[in-house]
Amino acid sequence: QSALTQPASVSGSPGQSITISCTGTSSDVGSYNLVSWYQQHPGKAPKLMIYEVSKRPSGVSNHFSGSKSGNTASLTISGLQADDEADYYCCSYAGNSYVFGTGTKVTVL
Amino acid sequence: QVQLQESGPGLVKPSETLSLTCTVSRGSISSYYWSWIRQPAGKGLEWIGRIYTTGSTNYNPSLKSRVTMSVDTSKNQFSLRLTSVTAADTAVYYCARVGSSWSQGPGWFDPWGQGTLVAVSS
């Protein structure tokens, strides 16, 4: 059970859009529509941003969106804001277990 | 809004057993899966395992031989035991509820506890 692959870092200017990829296998991302995304600010617990590939929990801004194609899921942040600067992790169900991504540091320039 | 709070020793000696408890408040522990997740300093998240309120468990294959989870519905608590710890088990340990939908099943973590740092050192 290997970690899902994410880019180590992604950056963008305020107002721009960025996309974070999350690549797994046919045993996890490719087999289930149970991909979730978490935002983590330094010293804080992770916060759920997207679940079931593309659904947003109540209270999460609509400038976060998720999608999936084959074994790769993606998180898009549209209209980047200063407060979006954080670490982001994807996670996939893998059949009675879960696997997290390697994590991506988002920097707002 | 359901709240989770981890508790337990912040320091464990090598080869001993790490024990943590997660207390669920402002909601019932019943009819959900509950998970433990850990994060070494400066590193990513690692799923440890999950437990249903009936006591049914699933563990990360890489930790399975050392992990035991249990649930006490009367106290609205669930617990983690990790045996034979080494320095590699030093991490912030989080408890979380596993969110579930009728169509897809249990598949995401929300909410999370604030986390508790456990250091393994003599």
Q: Which residues contact B71 (CB under 8 A, 6 or more apart)?
A: B29, B34, B51, B52, B53, B55, B77, B78, B79
Environment class of residue B35 by beta-carbon count within 10 Å: exposed (0-12), middle (13-18) or buried (19+)? Answer: buried
How distant, in Å, are the alpha carbons of A46, A89, B9, B53 from that of A74?
18, 11, 38, 32
Please name the member of A48, A52, A99 whose beta carbon is closest to the beta carbon of B109: A48
Residue with the two structure tokens 């991504």: A101
pLDDT per residue, tens digit, chain B (122 aa), is 999 999 999 999 999 999 999 999 999 999 999 999 999 999 999 999 999 999 999 999 999 999 999 999 999 999 999 999 999 999 999 999 999 988 888 899 999 999 999 999 99
Q: Which chain B residues touch A1 with a CB distance below 8 Å? A: 60-62
What's the one-letter identity of residue A81?
Answer: Q
Please name the member of B44, B105, B115 whose beta carbon is closest to the beta carbon of A100: B44
| Dist CA B117 CA B110 (whole Å) | 20
Q: Which chain B residues touch A56 with a CB distance below 8 Å? A: none
Q: What is the pLDDT of residue A7?
A: 98
* Beta carbons of A56 and A62 less than 8 angstroms apart: yes
Tokens of B50: 């999950």
Number of Cβ within 10 Å of residue A35's Cβ equals 29
pLDDT reading at A49 higher than 90: yes
Q: What is the pLDDT of residue B102?
A: 83
| A63-78 confidence digits (pLDDT tens) | 999 999 999 999 999 9
Q: What is the pLDDT of residue A48?
A: 98
* Beta carbons of A65 and A1 less than 8 angstroms apart: no
Number of Cβ within 10 Å of residue A40's Cβ equals 19
pLDDT reading at A89 higher than 90: yes
Residues 33-72 of A with CB under 8 A from B: 33-34, 36, 38, 45-48, 51-52, 57
Question: A46 CA to chain B: closest CA distance, Å?
Answer: 7
Q: What is the pLDDT of residue A35?
A: 97
**A48/B46 touch (CB, cutoff 8 Å), yes or no:** no
